[in-house]
Protein backbone atom coordinates (compact mmCIF):
# COMPACT_ATOMS: atom_id res chain seq x y z
CA UNK A 1 0.00 0.00 0.00
CA UNK A 2 1.35 3.43 -0.95
CA UNK A 3 1.39 5.90 1.96
CA UNK A 4 2.51 9.26 0.58
CA UNK A 5 1.75 11.02 3.87
CA UNK A 6 3.49 8.57 6.20
CA UNK A 7 4.25 10.66 9.33
CA UNK A 8 7.94 9.76 9.64
CA UNK A 9 8.85 12.53 12.09
CA UNK A 10 5.98 11.57 14.35
CA UNK A 11 6.90 7.89 14.18
CA UNK A 12 10.50 8.72 15.07
CA UNK A 13 9.33 10.86 17.98
CA UNK A 14 7.14 8.03 19.23
CA UNK A 15 9.90 5.41 18.87
CA UNK A 16 12.40 7.51 20.85
CA UNK A 17 9.81 8.38 23.51
CA UNK A 18 8.81 4.72 23.84
CA UNK A 19 12.41 3.60 24.34
CA UNK A 20 13.06 6.25 26.97
CA UNK A 21 9.51 6.43 28.37
CA UNK A 22 10.15 10.15 28.47
CA UNK A 23 9.41 13.02 26.10
CA UNK A 24 12.27 14.99 27.64
CA UNK A 25 14.93 12.34 26.99
CA UNK A 26 13.51 11.69 23.54
CA UNK A 27 13.85 15.41 22.79
CA UNK A 28 17.49 15.37 23.89
CA UNK A 29 18.19 12.44 21.57
CA UNK A 30 16.40 14.07 18.63
CA UNK A 31 17.76 17.56 19.36
CA UNK A 32 14.30 19.12 19.69
CA UNK A 33 12.29 20.37 22.63
CA UNK A 34 10.17 18.22 24.91
CA UNK A 35 7.13 20.13 23.70
CA UNK A 36 7.94 19.35 20.05
CA UNK A 37 8.17 15.61 20.79
CA UNK A 38 4.93 15.66 22.73
CA UNK A 39 3.22 17.51 19.88
CA UNK A 40 4.47 14.98 17.31
CA UNK A 41 3.27 12.01 19.38
CA UNK A 42 -0.11 13.63 19.99
CA UNK A 43 -0.48 14.21 16.25
CA UNK A 44 0.35 10.54 15.56
CA UNK A 45 -2.27 9.43 18.09
CA UNK A 46 -4.85 11.61 16.33
CA UNK A 47 -3.95 10.09 12.95
CA UNK A 48 -4.28 6.57 14.33
CA UNK A 49 -7.33 7.32 16.42
CA UNK A 50 -5.91 5.70 19.55
CA UNK A 51 -3.64 6.37 22.49
CA UNK A 52 -0.05 5.13 22.40
CA UNK A 53 0.95 6.31 25.89
CA UNK A 54 -0.62 6.67 29.27
CA UNK A 55 0.63 9.98 30.70
CA UNK A 56 1.65 9.41 34.32
CA UNK A 57 2.74 11.94 36.98
CA UNK A 58 6.34 10.66 36.78
CA UNK A 59 6.66 9.62 33.16
CA UNK A 60 5.03 7.58 30.44
CA UNK A 61 3.69 4.05 30.08
CA UNK A 62 2.93 2.33 26.80
CA UNK A 63 -0.59 1.27 26.02
CA UNK A 64 -1.11 -2.16 24.43
CA UNK A 65 -1.26 -0.43 21.04
CA UNK A 66 1.97 1.45 21.70
CA UNK A 67 3.71 -1.73 22.83
CA UNK A 68 2.65 -3.44 19.60
CA UNK A 69 3.92 -0.56 17.43
CA UNK A 70 7.31 -0.10 19.11
CA UNK A 71 9.17 -3.28 17.98
CA UNK A 72 7.94 -2.76 14.40
CA UNK A 73 9.40 0.74 14.31
CA UNK A 74 12.63 -0.29 16.05
CA UNK A 75 13.24 -2.94 13.40
CA UNK A 76 12.28 -0.60 10.55
CA UNK A 77 14.59 2.19 11.73
CA UNK A 78 17.39 -0.30 12.38
CA UNK A 79 17.13 -1.63 8.82
CA UNK A 80 16.99 1.87 7.35
CA UNK A 81 20.06 2.87 9.36
CA UNK A 82 21.97 -0.27 8.36
CA UNK A 83 21.21 0.36 4.68
CA UNK A 84 22.27 4.00 4.86
CA UNK A 85 25.49 2.96 6.60
CA UNK A 86 26.35 0.89 3.53
CA UNK A 87 26.57 3.98 1.32
CA UNK A 88 30.14 5.24 1.09
CA UNK A 89 32.02 7.20 -1.51
CA UNK A 90 29.08 7.49 -3.87
CA UNK A 91 28.16 3.79 -3.92
CA UNK A 92 26.57 1.21 -1.68
CA UNK A 93 28.75 -1.15 0.35
CA UNK A 94 28.04 -4.81 -0.30
CA UNK A 95 28.58 -7.76 2.02
CA UNK A 96 30.41 -10.69 0.42
CA UNK A 97 30.60 -13.91 2.42
CA UNK A 98 33.28 -16.30 1.19
CA UNK A 99 34.00 -19.78 2.48
CA UNK A 100 37.62 -20.80 2.01
CA UNK A 101 39.73 -23.85 2.68
CA UNK A 102 41.94 -22.79 5.58
CA UNK A 103 45.12 -23.72 3.71
CA UNK A 104 44.28 -21.42 0.81
CA UNK A 105 43.04 -18.66 3.12
CA UNK A 106 46.24 -18.59 5.20
CA UNK A 107 48.76 -19.40 2.49
CA UNK A 108 47.42 -17.37 -0.44
CA UNK A 109 44.41 -15.18 0.27
CA UNK A 110 45.33 -13.41 3.52
CA UNK A 111 48.66 -12.00 2.24
CA UNK A 112 46.74 -10.40 -0.65
CA UNK A 113 43.68 -9.13 1.25
CA UNK A 114 45.03 -5.60 1.62
CA UNK A 115 45.31 -5.35 -2.15
CA UNK A 116 41.70 -6.46 -2.61
CA UNK A 117 40.39 -4.06 0.02
CA UNK A 118 42.27 -1.14 -1.51
CA UNK A 119 40.89 -1.92 -4.97
CA UNK A 120 37.33 -2.65 -3.79
CA UNK A 121 36.54 -0.60 -0.68
CA UNK A 122 32.79 -1.00 -1.30
CA UNK A 123 32.99 -4.75 -0.54
CA UNK A 124 32.47 -5.75 3.09
CA UNK A 125 34.28 -9.09 2.93
CA UNK A 126 33.48 -11.90 5.38
CA UNK A 127 35.75 -15.00 5.31
CA UNK A 128 34.68 -18.29 6.87
CA UNK A 129 37.38 -20.97 6.86
CA UNK A 130 36.64 -24.69 6.52
CA UNK A 131 38.35 -28.02 5.87
CA UNK A 132 36.93 -28.41 2.34
CA UNK A 133 33.52 -29.55 3.51
CA UNK A 134 31.09 -26.76 2.68
CA UNK A 135 27.38 -26.20 2.10
CA UNK A 136 27.01 -23.00 0.06
CA UNK A 137 23.28 -22.61 0.60
CA UNK A 138 23.11 -23.92 4.16
CA UNK A 139 25.96 -21.70 5.36
CA UNK A 140 24.73 -18.59 3.55
CA UNK A 141 27.88 -18.29 1.42
CA UNK A 142 28.03 -16.19 -1.73
CA UNK A 143 30.93 -18.29 -2.99
CA UNK A 144 33.51 -20.76 -1.72
CA UNK A 145 37.12 -21.63 -2.49
CA UNK A 146 37.50 -25.40 -2.56
CA UNK A 147 40.17 -28.00 -3.27
CA UNK A 148 39.42 -30.78 -5.72
CA UNK A 149 38.67 -31.48 -9.37
CA UNK A 150 36.16 -28.66 -9.91
CA UNK A 151 33.18 -31.01 -10.25
CA UNK A 152 30.62 -30.15 -7.57
CA UNK A 153 26.95 -30.69 -8.31
CA UNK A 154 24.94 -27.56 -8.99
CA UNK A 155 27.91 -25.20 -8.92
CA UNK A 156 29.94 -23.07 -11.27
CA UNK A 157 33.70 -23.44 -10.79
CA UNK A 158 36.68 -21.33 -11.90
CA UNK A 159 40.17 -22.79 -11.51
CA UNK A 160 42.41 -20.63 -9.32
CA UNK A 161 45.61 -22.47 -8.46
CA UNK A 162 47.18 -25.87 -9.05
CA UNK A 163 48.54 -27.35 -5.83
CA UNK A 164 50.94 -30.29 -6.29
CA UNK A 165 51.98 -32.03 -3.09
CA UNK A 166 55.50 -32.68 -1.85
CA UNK A 167 56.93 -33.68 1.55
CA UNK A 168 57.74 -30.88 3.98
CA UNK A 169 59.25 -31.24 7.44
CA UNK A 170 61.24 -29.43 10.14
CA UNK A 171 64.98 -28.82 9.45
CA UNK A 172 66.31 -31.31 12.06
CA UNK A 173 64.24 -34.10 10.55
CA UNK A 174 65.25 -33.14 7.01
CA UNK A 175 68.91 -33.70 7.92
CA UNK A 176 68.13 -37.42 8.30
CA UNK A 177 66.67 -37.71 4.81
CA UNK A 178 69.02 -38.46 1.94
CA UNK A 179 66.70 -40.39 -0.38
CA UNK A 180 62.93 -40.98 -0.53
CA UNK A 181 63.26 -44.41 1.11
CA UNK A 182 64.57 -42.67 4.26
CA UNK A 183 61.05 -41.35 4.88
CA UNK A 184 60.13 -44.85 6.03
CA UNK A 185 62.05 -44.15 9.24
CA UNK A 186 60.07 -41.02 10.25
CA UNK A 187 56.41 -40.47 11.13
CA UNK A 188 54.36 -39.69 8.01
CA UNK A 189 51.55 -37.26 8.79
CA UNK A 190 48.43 -37.90 6.72
CA UNK A 191 45.36 -36.12 5.40
CA UNK A 192 41.92 -37.69 5.02
CA UNK A 193 42.86 -38.49 1.39
CA UNK A 194 44.34 -41.89 2.18
CA UNK A 195 46.19 -42.61 -1.09
CA UNK A 196 48.48 -39.58 -1.22
CA UNK A 197 51.59 -41.07 0.37
CA UNK A 198 51.29 -44.27 -1.71
CA UNK A 199 51.07 -42.19 -4.87
CA UNK A 200 54.04 -40.03 -3.85
CA UNK A 201 56.29 -43.03 -3.10
CA UNK A 202 55.28 -44.59 -6.42
CA UNK A 203 56.24 -41.34 -8.17
CA UNK A 204 59.54 -41.26 -6.26
CA UNK A 205 60.31 -44.90 -7.16
CA UNK A 206 60.37 -46.14 -3.57
CA UNK A 207 58.31 -48.62 -1.59
CA UNK A 208 55.57 -47.06 0.54
CA UNK A 209 55.95 -48.04 4.20
CA UNK A 210 53.07 -48.88 6.52
CA UNK A 211 51.32 -45.63 7.37
CA UNK A 212 50.69 -45.05 11.05
CA UNK A 213 51.07 -41.28 11.39
CA UNK A 214 48.45 -38.90 12.73
CA UNK A 215 45.54 -38.10 10.38
CA UNK A 216 44.55 -34.43 9.97
CA UNK A 217 41.51 -32.80 8.38
CA UNK A 218 43.42 -29.53 7.85
CA UNK A 219 46.67 -28.97 5.96
CA UNK A 220 47.32 -25.90 8.13
CA UNK A 221 47.27 -28.03 11.28
CA UNK A 222 49.33 -30.76 9.60
CA UNK A 223 51.95 -28.20 8.51
CA UNK A 224 52.17 -26.84 12.03
CA UNK A 225 52.68 -30.36 13.38
CA UNK A 226 55.43 -30.92 10.81
CA UNK A 227 57.12 -27.63 11.72
CA UNK A 228 57.14 -28.70 15.36
CA UNK A 229 58.92 -31.93 14.48
CA UNK A 230 56.03 -34.38 14.61
CA UNK A 231 56.87 -35.86 11.22
CA UNK A 232 56.88 -35.27 7.47
CA UNK A 233 53.72 -34.04 5.75
CA UNK A 234 52.59 -34.05 2.13
CA UNK A 235 51.55 -30.46 1.54
CA UNK A 236 50.78 -28.05 -1.32
CA UNK A 237 54.19 -26.38 -1.47
CA UNK A 238 52.94 -23.18 -3.12
CA UNK A 239 50.80 -22.37 -0.09
CA UNK A 240 53.58 -22.75 2.46
CA UNK A 241 56.15 -20.53 0.75
CA UNK A 242 56.42 -18.29 3.81
CA UNK A 243 57.34 -21.24 6.07
CA UNK A 244 59.93 -22.34 3.51
CA UNK A 245 61.40 -18.84 3.31
CA UNK A 246 61.70 -18.54 7.08
CA UNK A 247 63.10 -22.06 7.42
CA UNK A 248 60.34 -23.41 9.67
CA UNK A 249 59.74 -26.05 6.99
CA UNK A 250 62.14 -27.68 4.54
CA UNK A 251 61.42 -29.50 1.29
CA UNK A 252 63.83 -32.47 1.28
CA UNK A 253 62.79 -33.86 -2.14
CA UNK A 254 61.53 -32.23 -5.32
CA UNK A 255 59.25 -35.13 -6.28
CA UNK A 256 55.62 -34.05 -6.29
CA UNK A 257 52.21 -35.41 -7.19
CA UNK A 258 49.12 -33.68 -8.56
CA UNK A 259 46.22 -34.01 -6.15
CA UNK A 260 43.84 -31.32 -7.39
CA UNK A 261 43.49 -27.58 -7.61
CA UNK A 262 41.83 -24.72 -5.77
CA UNK A 263 38.59 -23.46 -7.34
CA UNK A 264 36.27 -20.52 -6.82
CA UNK A 265 32.75 -21.95 -6.75
CA UNK A 266 29.21 -20.61 -6.42
CA UNK A 267 25.74 -22.01 -6.90
CA UNK A 268 24.43 -21.99 -10.47
CA UNK A 269 21.13 -20.73 -9.05
CA UNK A 270 22.86 -17.76 -7.34
CA UNK A 271 22.57 -14.42 -9.11
CA UNK A 272 26.01 -12.83 -9.29
CA UNK A 273 26.22 -9.59 -7.32
CA UNK A 274 28.63 -6.73 -7.98
CA UNK A 275 30.74 -7.86 -5.03
CA UNK A 276 30.88 -11.44 -6.31
CA UNK A 277 31.90 -10.23 -9.77
CA UNK A 278 34.57 -7.94 -8.28
CA UNK A 279 36.03 -10.79 -6.21
CA UNK A 280 36.02 -13.22 -9.15
CA UNK A 281 37.68 -10.66 -11.45
CA UNK A 282 40.30 -9.77 -8.82
CA UNK A 283 41.17 -13.44 -8.27
CA UNK A 284 41.56 -13.93 -12.03
CA UNK A 285 43.85 -10.90 -12.23
CA UNK A 286 46.00 -12.19 -9.36
CA UNK A 287 46.28 -15.57 -11.03
CA UNK A 288 47.26 -13.89 -14.32
CA UNK A 289 50.02 -11.89 -12.62
CA UNK A 290 51.50 -15.04 -11.12
CA UNK A 291 51.40 -16.93 -14.42
CA UNK A 292 53.00 -14.05 -16.35
Q: Report CA torsion sign: 104, 214, 177, 183.
A: negative
Q: Which residue from 171, 211, 210, 196 is spatially nearest to 255, judged by alpha carbons?
A: 196
Rounded distance, CA 83 to CA 85, Å? 5
DSSP summary character for residue 271: P
Residue 22 per-residue DSSP state: -
CA distances from 62 to 14, 32, 193, 237 (A): 10, 21, 62, 65
Per-residue confidence of the chain (292 residues) as pLDDT tens digits? Answer: 445 578 999 999 999 999 999 999 999 999 999 999 999 999 999 999 999 999 988 889 999 999 999 999 999 998 888 777 767 666 667 899 999 999 999 999 999 999 999 999 889 999 999 888 888 999 999 999 999 999 999 999 999 999 899 999 999 999 999 999 999 999 999 988 889 999 999 999 999 998 887 899 889 999 999 999 999 999 999 999 999 999 999 999 999 999 889 999 999 999 999 999 999 999 999 887 776 5
Nearest to 265 by CA among 175, 183, 184, 153: 153
The residues, ordered by sequence, that sit 6+ positions from 157 with a Cβ below 8 Å of its Cβ are: 146, 150, 151, 263, 264, 265
- Closest alpha carbon to 136 in 107, 156, 118, 120: 156
Which pTM value belongs to this model? 0.69
* Bridge pairing between strands 261-267 and 155-162: antiparallel
Task: Report which DSSP code applies to 268.
Answer: T
CA distances from 30 to 9, 57, 110, 208 (A): 10, 23, 43, 75
Amino acid sequence: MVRPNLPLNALRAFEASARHLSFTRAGLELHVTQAAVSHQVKGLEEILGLRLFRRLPRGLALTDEGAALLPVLEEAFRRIGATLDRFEGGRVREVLTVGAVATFAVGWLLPRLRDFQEEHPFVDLRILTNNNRVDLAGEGLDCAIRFGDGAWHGTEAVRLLDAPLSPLCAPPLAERLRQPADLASVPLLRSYRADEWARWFAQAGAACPALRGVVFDSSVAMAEAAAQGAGAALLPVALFARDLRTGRLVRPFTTEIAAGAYWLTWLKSRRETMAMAAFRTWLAAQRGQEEA
